[in-house]
């Protein structure tokens, strides 16, 4: 079972796909009259929440410390768990065919369903900045958003997989402790679930080029043995078109009686 190397980069593709959903979030700053004065594109990184909080809380005073705090607003995301999804498991004998010729074909068995849990964290200094980012995200997931991926680009370039991404919960914390002049950090935590399929190795099998049916008369021979009466052989015609997607062929039937040399 093991020993055949394969790597479809499925998790890596899922992380990149999830990140691309949120890489165009903007925050608009306005003056007292309501006119826009600046627009900021919110940076997005793959990083744990704890690491970002540590960097955000670093001393931003350059006179007393060389460490510089991160500028807000900002977003980060990460994978938090992977779980097998029993509700989407199909028959293990189902397979996807590709790379066909007149003699062989590629065969990929149905994928194994998993749920990837992602956590998106939104950091801001003001409530208005945080709400702008949250309101640009929530309406898209109602309650899920489906993206289309090419999971096996090299082997199956025409195969598409629809991946639903649903929002599982929204959390909020306002880290405003300590002195009045301490730096404030507002954090919105959005939990998502991505339903994906993991595929195994791609095998190669031969194309069926001939079907034989032997007809026997039961118990008519000596010592109640079976006697072959006839053999029917069926071949696609012509053989060169077997397995081709646009092929249009018939069948050639050949009959062999009991006295023929066919075995």
Which tens digits make up the pLDDT trace of 56-78? 666 555 455 444 456 788 899 99
C-alpha closest to that of 193 among 82, 48, 49: 82
pLDDT digits (tens, 9 = 90+) for 174-190: 866 555 555 577 899 99
pLDDT top residue among 91 and 168: 168
Mean pLDDT of the region 219-243: 72
Return the pLDDT at 68.
Answer: 43
Q: Does pTM top 0.85 for this prediction?
A: no
Please state which of the four CATH numbers 3.40.50.410, 1.10.10.60, 3.40.1530.20, 3.30.2000.40 is assigned to the domain occupying 10-204.
Answer: 3.30.2000.40
* Residue 114 contacts residue 85 (beta carbons within 8 Å): yes
Q: Which of 51-55, 135-139, 183-187 has the highest mean pLDDT?
A: 135-139
Q: What is the DSSP string of the chain?
A: ---------HHHHHHHHHHHTTTT-EEEEE-TTS-EEEEEEPPEEE--HHHHHHHHTS---TTT-S--PPPSSEEEEEEEEEEE-GGG---TT-EEEES--SSEEEEEEPPEEEEEEEEEEEEESSHHHHHHHHHHHGGG-SSEEEEEE-TTTTT-TT--EEEEEEEEEEEEEEE--SSTTSPPEEEEEEEEEEEEEE--PPEEEEPP--EEEEEEETT-SGGG--EEEEEEEEEEESGGGTT-TT---EEEEEEEETTSS--
Q: Rounded to whole angstroms, how far apart are CA atoms 19 and 13?
A: 10
**Cβ pair 126, 187 in contact under 8 A:** no
Q: What is the pLDDT of residue 66?
A: 44
- 76-96 pLDDT tens trace: 999 999 999 999 888 877 777
Average pLDDT in the 237-259 region?
Answer: 69
pLDDT attached to residue 223: 61
Q: Domain boundaries in the chain?
A: 10-204, 210-257
Candidate ranges 92-96, 137-141, 151-155, 203-207; pick with highest mean pLDDT = 137-141
Beta bridge pairs of residue 46: 77
Can you tell me the mean pLDDT for 252-256? 81
pLDDT band at 122 (very low <50, low <70, confident <90, very high): very high
Residue 203: per-residue pLDDT: 74
Confidence of residue 131 (pLDDT cuts 50, 70, 90): very high
Reference 161, options 149, 177, 179, 143; nearest CA is: 149
The DSSP code sequence of 122-140 is EEESSHHHHHHHHHHHGGG
More confident residue, 249 or 164: 164
Over residues 179-202, mean pLDDT? 82
């Amino acid at each position: 079972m093991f020993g055949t190397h394969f790597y479809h980069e499925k998790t890596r593709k899922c992380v990149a796909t999830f990140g691309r959903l949120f890489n165009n979030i903007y925050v608009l700053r306005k003056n007292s009259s309501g006119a826009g004065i600046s627009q900021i594109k919110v940076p997005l990184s793959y990083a744990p929440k704890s690491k970002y909080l540590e960097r955000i809380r670093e001393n931003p005073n350059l006179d007393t410390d060389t460490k510089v705090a991160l500028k807000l607003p900002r977003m980060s995301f990460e994978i938090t768990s992977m779980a097998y999804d029993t509700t989407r498991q199909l028959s293990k004998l189902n397979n996807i065919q590709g790379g066909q010729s007149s003699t062989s074909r590629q065969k990929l068995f149905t994928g194994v369903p998993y749920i990837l849990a992602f956590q998106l964290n939104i950091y801001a200094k003001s409530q208005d900045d945080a709400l702008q980012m949250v309101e640009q995200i929530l309406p898209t997931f109602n309650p899920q958003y489906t993206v289309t991926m090419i999971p096996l680009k090299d082997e199956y370039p025409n195969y598409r997989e629809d991946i639903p991404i649903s929002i599982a919960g929204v959390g909020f914390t306002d880290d405003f402790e300590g002195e009045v002049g301490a730096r404030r950090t507002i954090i919105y935590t959005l939990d998502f679930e991505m339903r994906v399929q993991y595929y195994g190795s791609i095998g190669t099998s031969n194309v069926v080029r001939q079907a034989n049916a032997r007809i026997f008369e039961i118990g008519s021979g000596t010592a109640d043995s079976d006697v072959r009466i006839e053999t029917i052989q069926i071949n696609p015609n012509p053989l060169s078109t077997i397995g081709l997607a646009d092929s249009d062929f018939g069948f050639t039937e050949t009959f062999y009686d009991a006295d023929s040399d066919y075995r």
